[in-house]
Amino acid sequence: MDKKVITYTTQGCPHCIGLKEFLTEKGISFESIDVSSDPAKADEMVKKSGQMGVPVVDIDGEIIVGFDKDIISQRLGI
């Protein structure tokens, strides 16, 4: 079964753009949350990840901070 993937990003962040491009290229469907326009989701991201930097990826509840292709690929099994 496909894993549930949520990205927490902002608009001006190069690694966020890179992350979303990467997931799209790999054909992974994901929920994209722009924390700049949603303070409640920004708080959710900070609570989940324990830090205040973007991007953050939630893969089936596992939190990855930053755009680390290797770790994300491994967790997604791609």
CB of 7 closer than 8 Å to CB of 55: yes
Helix, strand or coil, per DSSP, at residue 32: strand
Q: Examine residue 72 and tell whether it contacts other proteins (CB under 8 A).
A: no
By the 10 Å C-beta count (0-12 exposed, 13-18 middle, 19+ buried), 69 is classed as exposed
Q: Which of 5, 6, 7, 16 binds other proteins (CB under 8 A)?
A: 16
Q: Which is nearer to other proteins, 3 or 34 (CB)?
A: 34
Q: Does 10 bind other proteins (CB under 8 A)?
A: yes
- Which spans of this chain sit near other proteins (rule: CB under 8 A)? 10-18, 35-36, 39, 42, 45-46, 50-54, 65, 69
